[in-house]
Amino acid sequence: MIVSMLRQPSGCEYAAAALRPRLTLHTINAMAESFFATLECELLARRRFASHAEARVAIFRYVEGWYNPHRRHSALGHQAPITYERAYAARPVTPTLAAA
């Protein structure tokens, strides 16, 4: 996972090299810090977990059940991925000409 690599000194260079064409390390760090701040504010600060396993399950459910599908993305016109995908699937299909 890129985020975990960024928090380890040995992974920084790898993540930077792998994503250099699209993002700078500064941008990746900013995104990671934003994610962790949101996670802490919306989930971790509101609950106490009885075990490490319980915390892992809660974080997984938060990320996969809400954060990834419902948060808004500027690249999608400030729409949530689910909203964008539903609109995309509902758009009229333009017929294409078959090659002769």
Q: Is residue 94 part of a domain?
A: no
Domain coverage including residue 71: 49-89
Q: Is residue 97 part of a domain?
A: no
pTM, two decimal places: 0.56
- pLDDT, residue 8, reads 47
Can you list the residues of the chain whose pLDDT is less than 50?
Answer: 1-12
In terms of Cβ atoms closer than 10 Å to its own Cβ (0-12, 13-18, 19+), residue 28 is: buried
- pLDDT, residue 2, reads 44
Whether residues 38 and 20 fall in one domain: yes
Q: Is residue 59 part of a domain?
A: yes
Q: Give the span between the Cα atoms of 19 and 28, in whole angstroms.
A: 9
Residue 82, token pair as written in the block: 């689910």
